[in-house]
Amino acid sequence: MDSWQEQLTIGVSLLTVLAVGAMLPVVQWRIRLRSLVISVLSMLLILPVVIILIVALSVGSTI
């Protein structure tokens, strides 16, 4: 597997663990885990945009 595929697998595994943890009955832990899941999901949404921008800038600078 490529490094990005390994990172994607790790990210999906982490999100799965966090999603299972968010179902725990303890309210304080649920709130903390829910905010952590939201922050991780937002990072996963922002990360591809940053990668595409970096690749576009590096390709543009070599042309």
Q: Mean pLDDT over residues 56-61, rounded?
A: 81
pLDDT at 36: 84
Q: Domain containing 58: what range?
A: 3-62
- HSE-up of 45 (CA within 13 Å, CB side)? 6
Q: Mean pLDDT over residues 5-33, rounded?
A: 75
Q: Residue 35: which pLDDT band, with cuts at 50, 70 and 90?
A: confident
Number of domains into which the chain is organized: 1
CA distances from 52 to 10, 29, 46, 57 (A): 20, 35, 10, 9
pLDDT at 2: 63
Question: Which of the pair, 38 or 22, is modelled with greater confidence?
Answer: 38
